[in-house]
Amino acid sequence: MPAAVYLDHNATSPLRPAAFDAMVEALRAGGNPSSVHGVGRRARALVDAARRQVAALVGALPAELVFSSGGTEANNMALAGSCRRRVLVSAIEHDSVLKAAPNAEVVPVERSGVIDLAAFERQVMSGEPALVSVMLANNETGVLQPIAEIVRLARKAGALVHCDAVQAAGKVPVDLHGLGVDYLSLSAHKLGGPAGVGALVVRNGVRFRADRRGGGQESNRRAGTENVAGIVGFGVAAEAARAGLAAAALRDRLEQALRSIAPQARVFGAEAERLPNTTCVSMPGVAAATQVMALDLAGVCVSAGAACSSGKVHRSAVLAAMGVSDAEAGSAIRISSGWNSRAEDVDRLIAAWRDLYVRVGQSDIPKSQAA
């Protein structure tokens, strides 16, 4: 039986029931949106409606949206599609940005987890006009980046700006034109839509070269038969997310409670503006892996870092970039709530965390965990 309390929404968020219902209907209806006949045209209409819903979530025009298979593909598309040779990334970007631009120049972040704007300004101004890729909210700490300020500096240098908004969209207001970015990546399954769908928003008039070749789908920007049901689910989830952006009350209560249990517990990025749903917190002296296993046995799902790399045991590059020591980073877990989280869920987490802390945290660190 799966655990009852799920607090790992930054890995994936459960599908919203309204999105599910709409998807099942779309799956039953069938049809290829490129077909000219009625079945195809109805599928096309579903895709168009969803395009409007997702565009509305980020203040974009429907025509600025290119649906993809997810956030990773959207990030890859932006980095390849801008055609800029020089790329600047922050030190805390997702692997789908870092690996897609292996020769990028890395901009450091401050201890708070916020990009070092002075360093950024120096770097972006020296050299040819670059593509800058900075995420709106970090997946591990939830720290928000000053994108509008980054855009202002980037413009002075003639740089284009890509913003990975995968973790931010649906959790805080996102406005393409307010931010002023050129490219914006989105993922459906991080906001209660299905996995396997995302989008790259390309601001009207900005250069974009398609990397995937084939049929002329998505206005020749991304070949391949559209994942109609997935796109429909994305649309419905985006609309629901826009209607009910998360409040930070649960997070603040949680962090207060954990700190009162263990005064040395540290919330990473606490001094910065953060997502209202994300807490990255250490239990001093207790390995993260021990914590997530113990919490799982207690029926609470959290993670020790990003899901894509959580199987492998290596230290968090995000925390390292913030100057956190290996020992402290090794005891950090990520707690992320979402659209279906309730106060009771947080209570159960607090109780389980307290039990664990009382059992092992206060005693001397066992050898197996000190390694």
Partner 1 sequence: MSVLTQIRRNDQPIYLDYQATTPTDPRVLEAMMPYFIHKFGNPHSRSHSYGWEAEEAVEKARGQVAKLIGADEKEVIFTSGATESNNLAIRGVAEFYKDRKNHIVTTVTEHKCVLDTCRHLEQQGFEVTYLPVQKNGLIDLEALRAAVTDKTVVVSVMAVNNEIGVIQPLAEIGKICREKKTFFHTDAAQAAGKIPLDIEAMNIDLMSISGHKIYGPKGIGALYVRRKPRVRLVPLIVGGGQERGFRSGTLPTPLCVGLGEASEICLKEMDGEAKRLTKLQQRMLKGLQDRLPEIYVNGDLEHRIPGNLNISFAYVEGESLMMGIKSLSVSSGSACTSASLEPSYVLRALGVDEELAHTSLRIGLGRFTTEQEVDTAVDELVRHVNKLREMSPLWEMAQEGIDLKSIEWAAH
- Catalytically active residues are 308
C-alpha 311/C-alpha 304 separation (Å) is: 9
CB of 211 to partner 1, least distance (A): 7
CB of 319 to partner 1, least distance (A): 17
Contact by Cβ (8 Å): 71, 186? yes
Structure tokens at 206: 């900005």
Using CA atoms, how far residue 199 sits from 57, 128, 226, 360, in Å, is: 12, 28, 12, 44
At residue 15, the 3 state secondary structure works out as coil
CB of 88 to partner 1, least distance (A): 18
Using CA atoms, how far residue 303 sits from 19, 211, 333, in Å, is: 25, 33, 6
Q: Which is nearer to partner 1, 96 or 112 (CB)?
A: 96
CB of 26 to partner 1, least distance (A): 9
Contact by Cβ (8 Å): 269, 275? no
The whole-angstrom distance between residue 342's C-alpha and the CA centroid of its chain comes to 21
Q: Which is nearer to partner 1, 121 or 345 (CB)?
A: 345
Q: Which is nearer to partner 1, 151 or 169 (CB)?
A: 169
Q: Which is nearer to partner 1, 100 or 238 (CB)?
A: 100
At residue 357, the 3 state secondary structure works out as helix
Give kind and range of the element (H or E) at residue 89.
Answer: strand 87-90
CB of 67 to partner 1, least distance (A): 10
Q: What is the CA radius of gyration of the chain?
A: 21
C-alpha 299/C-alpha 285 separation (Å) is: 22
**Which residues touch 10 (CB under 8 Å, ≥6 apart)?**
139, 140, 142, 167, 190, 277, 278, 303, 306, 307, 334, 336
CB of 125 to partner 1, least distance (A): 29
Q: Which is nearer to partner 1, 263 or 311 (CB)?
A: 311
Q: Which is nearer to partner 1, 169 or 306 (CB)?
A: 306
